[in-house]
Amino acid sequence: MFGLFNSASKAYQDLKPAEFSAALRQPGIVLLDVRRPDEFAGGHLPGAVNIDVTAPDFAQRVAALDKAKPTYVYCRSGARSATAAGQLSKVGFEHVSNLLGGVLDWPEQLVR
């Protein structure tokens, strides 16, 4: 009974850090950091756009992004970005991927 409303599969994919890193080399992607601005300022993946998934204007700000471009989301541990990936998929983003483990598991240098 508890799984009754969770029977639909996810509309986004979870990627391990190595897969996520390889995918970021594609041209024309959107890399979205959904952490708080202070976390983003402390270090982020190169080329990332910061839109805080917990901010009240999250839906409004992501509406300005191109829904047809592959969109890669991450956060600190992968939990908030999974929430964001689900929200993006619901509003029509076609190709959404979530970084499993977030920046905690990211093996490469972050930039400021």
Which residues are catalytically annotated?
75
b/e 65-83 (16+ beta carbons within 10 angstroms → b)? eeeeebbbbbbbbbebbbb
* Rounded distance between C-alpha atoms, residue 20 and residue 41, angstroms: 21
* Rounded distance between C-alpha atoms, residue 89 and residue 19, angstroms: 20
